[in-house]
Amino acid sequence: MNAGPTEGAAGRRWLKLDTRILRHFDDALGEAGVRVDTGTGAVLRDLARRRGRFAALSAVARALRHPAHGLVVGNVTRKRLRVPAVFGWRALRGIYGWTKAVQARLLELRLIAQMRDDPDLAALIYNGSNFPESVLAQVAADLDRARLTVEGGFFPDSIQIDPRGVNAANSVPRDPAFYMEADDDFAADGLPALTKTRVVKAGDAAAATVPKDYIFVAFQVPSDMQVTRHSPWIKDMGTFYAEVQAAADRNPALTFVIKEHPSFPLSVQGSLPPHPRVIFANANVTRDLIAGAQAVVTLNSTVGLEAVFLERPAIILGDACYDIPGLVRRARDRAELDAALVDLATAGPDPVLRRQVLGWLWNRYLVRGSYAAPPPDLPRVLERQLRLMETAGPRNGGPQDMSD
């Protein structure tokens, strides 16, 4: 995290929801933070206090007539994918979705009231893809308020805090010229020492034996916004598995090693007949699989960026903030995937571009800290991150120097 003075709006306050994952941000924000209880009872009490009991009752009537279904699509999708035995039933999914949509409309009306009462409030949003955070994101956008979105960083002890969004929607420049033509050595202050350490999915299962030469394929959580919003070709892990098997059929000299995401409780194993050159290695260490691979294939996981970090070729099938020509290869269909697999010998990241991109991410973009331990000077950091929008052009042109 960069040091130095920051020009910001004096006394700006940040409205955030009671989402559990950002609970430690409350203390770090101090008087600059405004925490909103999203429980339905608390929402109605606040509306009654601000606008009167009749207005609160009118809000209930409006929410029942016009639930905010568009703000809970992510929640419904997550339930359907994670608990298909229950939410695979349309009726149950409909009841759940309608209930959440009513709650979302009530929260929307409550947040609108508070933000209109306090025109200087800015919004601090976690991820923004699911209720209740999707409601805050929508209200802040509709009212044209300053807003920042928070998500985990690409490296240990780092956080994304971005005015545009997170992951594929963030402010990271995608034009290699931004990095290659810069006067600054973005890595002069060092690079992260390690990539993320991931738990294994298979519990006490033994690690799989992998061949000397293989393509590592990193699966992701299918209900995550990285898949639901930023993967136009591969929409779920069942489809991904089928595409890996098809790629193995088209490329008989290659073996593919799959690791499923440890955070997702279901497995695609058994959904298709086994393939002799498609191996599952759920109990293996991800970093070891990356380091030993001929190349890494992923939709848009940070595993692709870890491959760059470990100087391995990375092929991405979805939209990613590190989709930078010369850093990774993009494959948007089978033909492009096959072409990338043929070019493995020359597909690694350009060493100068690699150093500049990793240096910019680590020293200029990411905030040092974690959900559990945000920066103690968080209000100052938020003001600095808000300037990303002020100095950023189109993503292919990218932000200019955002250092303090």
The CATH number that applies at residue 258 is 3.40.50.2000
How many independent structural domains does the chain possess? 2
Q: Are residues 233 and 353 in the same domain?
A: yes
* pLDDT at position 1: 40
The helix or strand, by DSSP H or E, that contains position 33, with its residue range, turns out to be strand 33-36
User: pLDDT at residue 391 above 70?
Assistant: no
Label residue 200 by pLDDT band (50, 70, 90): low
Label residue 3 by pLDDT band (50, 70, 90): very low
Q: Are residues 135 and 263 in the same domain?
A: no
Query: Residue 293 domain-assigned?
Result: yes
Question: How far from the centroid of its chain's Cα atoms is residue 376's Cα?
Answer: 24
Label residue 196 by pLDDT band (50, 70, 90): low
Sequence-separated (6 or more) residues with CB below 8 Å from residue 182:
356
User: What percentage of residues in the chain have a pLDDT greater than 70?
Assistant: 91
Label residue 2 by pLDDT band (50, 70, 90): very low
pLDDT tens digits for 241-267? 999 999 999 999 999 999 999 888 889
Q: Are residues 244 and 117 in the same domain?
A: no
User: pLDDT at residue 201 above 80?
Assistant: no
Query: Residue 272 domain-assigned?
Result: yes
* pLDDT at position 140: 98
Domain final residue pick, 99, 119, 145: 145
Q: Are residues 133 and 225 in the same domain?
A: no
Q: What is the CA radius of gyration of the chain?
A: 23
Q: Are residues 238 and 330 in the same domain?
A: yes
User: Rounded mean pLDDT of the chain?
Assistant: 91
Query: Residue 233 domain-assigned?
Result: yes
- Whole domain around residue 132: which residue ranges? 14-145
* pLDDT at position 10: 55
Query: Residue 8 domain-assigned?
Result: no
- Which is higher by pLDDT, 90 or 387? 90
Domain final residue pick, 145, 177, 203: 145
Domain final residue pick, 115, 145, 175: 145
Query: Residue 181 domain-assigned?
Result: no
Sequence-separated (6 or more) residues with CB below 8 Å from residue 34:
13, 14, 15, 16, 121
The helix or strand, by DSSP H or E, that contains position 59, with its residue range, turns out to be helix 53-65
User: pLDDT at residue 141 above 90?
Assistant: yes
- Is 124 within 8 Å of 16 (Cβ atoms)? yes
User: pLDDT at residue 320 above 70?
Assistant: yes
Section 147-165 average pLDDT: 94
Query: Residue 191 domain-assigned?
Result: no
Query: Residue 222 domain-assigned?
Result: yes
* pLDDT at position 70: 97
Q: Are residues 134 and 46 in the same domain?
A: yes
Q: Are residues 48 and 140 in the same domain?
A: yes
* pLDDT at position 35: 97
* pLDDT at position 98: 98
Query: Residue 76 domain-assigned?
Result: yes
